[in-house]
Amino acid sequence: MTKIYGHRGAKGRYPENTLLSFQKAIDQGVDGLELDVHLTKDGEVVVIHDETLDRTTNGTGWIRDLTLEEIKQVSAGSSFTHFPDYQGAWDLEKVPTLQEVLELLAPYPTELNIELKTYAVAYEGIEAKVQSVVEKYGNGRKVVYSSFHLPSLLRMKQVNREANIAWLLNEGISLPADYMEMLGLEALHLSKNIVLPKELNTKNLAGLFENIRVWTVNDPDQIGQLLELQVNAIITDFPETAIALRNMWEAMA
């Protein structure tokens, strides 16, 4: 059965990469969550998409130049007043640490896709730090490490030979199975534009769909096409909608 992963929680309706967004996605019934990590000046793993605070918080500055204490001063919810469900309480949301997200997930079997945002800033030692937090607070859940930056994934594998690593791709590659085998990839995390709608792409990926997760898919028709292909997971901003479609599709199958 194709799994539904909430992209940065339930990003379509709630402030991305916040505990609120993750809790809402869990409440909606996601099989997995996707989030992004960076390293603070004092070496803490924080969950935020961008390299800076500017777009998603009321703060400013680079994550790598700020301490966790400084980052905890800003609101990660107050930039989302334009969302239909916005409430004043969202302003209290902070940029969470990876530890805090794992503590939130503790009672749930939710899978976790941790994207190492290492293509713009080289965060020295981030792979080992992330691994250590997951070891302490992961409760044995399935964790998949993804990155556009392949060296980061290979370092993760050096840190933990058992780590599930998945290469994030914006563009297709030839002979993907060869990459998967030689690099020890658990999965490919592919942009929907690689998988849909070209017949050629689909042929290139034949036999691999159970190890392919596709992002970021919000359109019901495209979700339907991916359910037909039986991909491993669909990563979406609107997990509630995708789960309803998936459940309907399963009932008809």
Give the one residue of 114, 116, 168, 187 binding ligand G3P; rule: CB under 6 A: 168
Taking phi first (over 0 means left), then psi (-120 to 50 degrees means alpha), and beta for anything else, what does residue 169 get?
A: beta
Could you say which of Ca ion, ligand G3P, none residue 21 binds, taking C-beta under 5 to 8 angstroms by partner kind? none
Minimum distance from CB of 142 to Ca ion (Å)? 17
State yes or no: residue 240 binds ligand G3P (CB under 6 A): no
- Catalytic residue numbers? 7, 49
- Which region, left, alpha or beta, applies to residue 30 given φ > 0 means left and ψ of -120 to 50 means alpha? beta
Q: Which of 239, 211, 206, 245 is nearest to 227 (CA)?
A: 245
Number of residues that bind Ca ion (CB under 5 A): 2
Footprint (CB under 5 A) of Ca ion, residues 34-53: 36
Task: Tell me if 146 contacts ligand G3P by CB under 6 A.
Answer: yes
| Member of 16, 44, 93, 115 binding Ca ion (CB under 5 A) | 115
Q: Of 5 and 90, which CB lies nearer to ligand G3P in the complex structure?
A: 5
Q: Would residue 125 be called left, alpha or beta, if left means φ above 0 and alpha means ψ between -120 and 50 degrees?
A: left
Rounded to a whole number of angstroms, the distance between the first and last alpha carbons of the chain is: 11
Nearest approach in angstroms of CB 36 to ligand G3P is 5
22 binds ligand G3P (CB under 6 A): no
Planar angle of CA 240, 244, 246, nearest 5 degrees: 115
Distance CA 133, CA 108 (A): 17
d(CA 111, CA 249): 22
Of 31, 34, 44, 127, the one binding ligand G3P by CB under 6 A: 34
- Residues 57-96 vs Ca ion: string with x where CB under 5 A? ----------------------------------------
Distance of alpha carbon 179 from alpha carbon 185, whole angstroms: 8
Interaction site with ligand G3P (CB under 6 A): 7, 34, 36, 49, 115, 146, 168, 189, 215-216, 235
